[in-house]
Amino acid sequence: MSTVPSELPAAVSDAEGAAASSRQPWLTPRVRGLLLAIAFPLALVVLWHYLVVISGTRLVPTPYQVGVMMWDFIFGGVHDDAFSATIGTHLLASMQRVYGGFALAIVIGVPLGLLIGKVPLMRQMLDPTLSLLRPIPVTAWLPLSMIFFGLGPRSAVFLVFLGAFYPILLNTIFGVRSVDVRLFEAAAMLGCDGSRMFRQIVLPAAMPSIFNGLRLAHGFAWILIVVGEMTGVPTGLGSVIMDGRTLSRTDLVITGMIVIGVAGFITDRMILALNNRVLRWSPQHHG
Amino acid sequence: MADPAAKPRRQFLTVRDVTKKFRIGANTVDALARVNLTISKGEFVCLIGASGCGKSTLLRIIAGFDQPTDGQVSLYEQPVSGPGSNRGMVFQDYALFPWMNVRENISFGPRQKGMTKQQVAKITDEYLHMVGLEKFADRFPHQLSGGMKQRVAIARVLANECELLLMDEPFGALDAITRESLQQELLEIWARTGVTIIFVTHSVEEAVLLADRVVVMTAGPGRIETDITIDLARPREVSAIDFNQVRRDITQRLTSHVVRRDLTTVV
């Protein structure tokens, strides 16, 4: 009994070995990956520039014009109009609505998903209704949402919530349903039951799937903010894009799009970092 | 336990007239037909039989994971109605909690009982030491070999003070060398803790090596064919003459039945 187990741990990361063998003499894999990731969008920007110049269109600005607009949006001092140096106001307003709706979807979607996934009674009662409501496009809720919540930020939060709710709910249900039944049996025989079972077994076991849902839902949340801010709110990146459209300021439209893309990208990286930390027990779920 | 002679000895585990029928579509399959079995405290019993003889079903009913269609399982004359911490199952594919490290897996049972942190830590250390995994306490299951995972699974139920260890082909997925060392470790744990063990296997050699009693089950529907007491002295030697006689005897009982069944299927 005192002998130390002689078998080697089965799972040893081979990432380092693979990295070492493919190492270039002058480029580390990390730098190489970064360059590759930058090369493609850079090529797209160059293509965009020449397409605008060659076609001579006045409807689409060049990347440079968008860059100037971005500078003005962030720092001001170029156009000195209603949009100069207002990025903070608009970004903050949109972030509040996106994260508000997103957080609401998590708070309602995850517990509901755990219940529907684990309790047959809940599934029988709620699943048909939810499946019926799910195919309705979130944008179709816009008129009703304006009646319920008025013309304002609450309507936007509601739409973001609706869009983020289903990916979270469905992935949570799927996560619970795909847990090995024996884990529940093992927990039960070790004296775990009731609400403790939800906290200690159901939730952590469904976590990989829940994180999938969170990443999907977060993407939908940013998509829907533009729709949500079409409901007549004066601030927010969605309203900036809508104003830009009305004023035929395509440089403003594209600037708003880029800010949304970057903000969404950064938040996604943060969710991914959290994912890798929470799921450090399961390397195959790392992004 | 001051004076065991003074009290009438209570039965440890009794399986009385247990039957189990499964519904598969429109058909009913008889998995178990009237199984009777009595096991005393501290016994090491192996259930052996071909696939489909209901040995795993019987084990799951004793664990309380499945309910018998008819009949009753009692522990200390109390009927078993569901999973309980006095019975601990060790599954073939471990069923460790993958998000908990080795220490957290082993301490899971004690943590459910509302013990103090110090008590939980003391019990966990004790069983980590018993299965020789102190150095691997902070590893996650995916970082362990099969043999190490099964050691954790055994420690997890023992730390929960289980009196009856139910093992469903626990070493079936392991390589021969690891299996041998785990068999020896299990015998040592059994001798040291006095835990009662019901061990499902389809290896005759494993059954004869480990068990006080070998219960041979046959399929169609599942029932107990014979119940053989193994009188061989411990430690047992797989290559000894008397060991091989017992092994041959049990193998014959198993295979003769399989052949008979094949003939009836052909007819």
B175 Cβ partners below 8 Å, 6+ apart? B146
Q: Chain-wide mean pLDDT for chain B?
A: 89
Of B116, B146, B162, the residue that ends a domain is B162
pLDDT at A13: 45
Find out whether B229 and B215 touch, Cβ atoms under 8 Å.
no
Clarify whether residues B115 and B135 are in a common domain.
Answer: yes
pLDDT at A27: 77
Half-sphere exposure of A66 (CA within 13 A, CB side): 19
Closest CA to A251 of A58, A85, A91, A53: A58
Q: Who has greater pLDDT, A125 or A284?
A: A125
For B240-256, write each residue's pLDDT tens digit. 999 999 999 998 888 76
A174 Cβ partners below 8 Å, 6+ apart? A117, A209
pLDDT at B259: 55
Find out whether A211 and A153 touch, Cβ atoms under 8 Å.
no
Dihedral-angle region of residue B51 (phi above 0 means left; psi in -120 to 50 means alpha; beta otherwise): beta
Domain annotation covers residue B253: no
Query: What whole-number distance in Å separates Cα of residue A115 and Cα of residue A120?
Result: 9
Of B119, B136, B162, the residue that ends a domain is B162
- A210 pLDDT tier (thresholds 50, 70, 90): very high
CATH number at B17 reads 3.40.50.300
| pLDDT mean over B181-191 | 95
| pLDDT mean over B71-79 | 93
For A35-49, write each residue's pLDDT tens digit. 999 999 999 999 999
What residues pair up with A165 in beta bridges, in sequence order? none
Domain annotation covers residue B65: yes
Q: In chain B, positions 210-229, which contact chain A (CB-CB < 8 Å)?
A: none
Q: How far from the centroid of its chain's Cα atoms is residue A120's Cα?
A: 30
ipTM, two decimals = 0.88
- Residue A225 token pair: 């903010």
3-state SS of B169-193? CCCCCCCHHHHHHHHHHHHHHHHHH
Of B162, B192, B218, the residue that ends a domain is B162
Clarify whether residues B30 and B149 are in a common domain.
Answer: no
pLDDT at A64 over 90: yes
pLDDT at A8 over 80: no
- φ, ψ for residue A235 (rounded to 5)? -120, 170
Domain annotation covers residue B251: no
Class of the CATH domain delimited by A87-285? mainly alpha
pLDDT at B261: 53
* B79 and A CB contact within 8 Å: no
Measure A209 CA to nearest chain B CA, in Å: 14
- A15 pLDDT tier (thresholds 50, 70, 90): very low
Measure A223 CA to nearest chain B CA, in Å: 33
Clarify whether residues B21 and B68 are in a common domain.
Answer: yes
How many separate domains does chain B show? 2
Residue B199's domain comprises 10-86+163-242
pLDDT at B52 over 90: no
pLDDT at A5 over 60: no
**Neighbouring C-beta atoms of residue A234, cutoff 10 Å:** 12
Domain annotation covers residue B262: no
- φ, ψ for residue A130 (rounded to 5)? -65, -35
* B113 and A CB contact within 8 Å: yes
Contact B112/A186, CB-based, under 8 Å? no
Domain annotation covers residue B267: no
Contact B112/A192, CB-based, under 8 Å? yes
Residue of A nearest to B60 (CA): A185
Domain annotation covers residue B248: no
For A79-135, write each residue's pLDDT tens digit. 889 999 999 999 999 999 999 999 999 999 999 999 999 999 999 999 999 999 999
Measure B80 CA to nearest chain A CA, in Å: 12
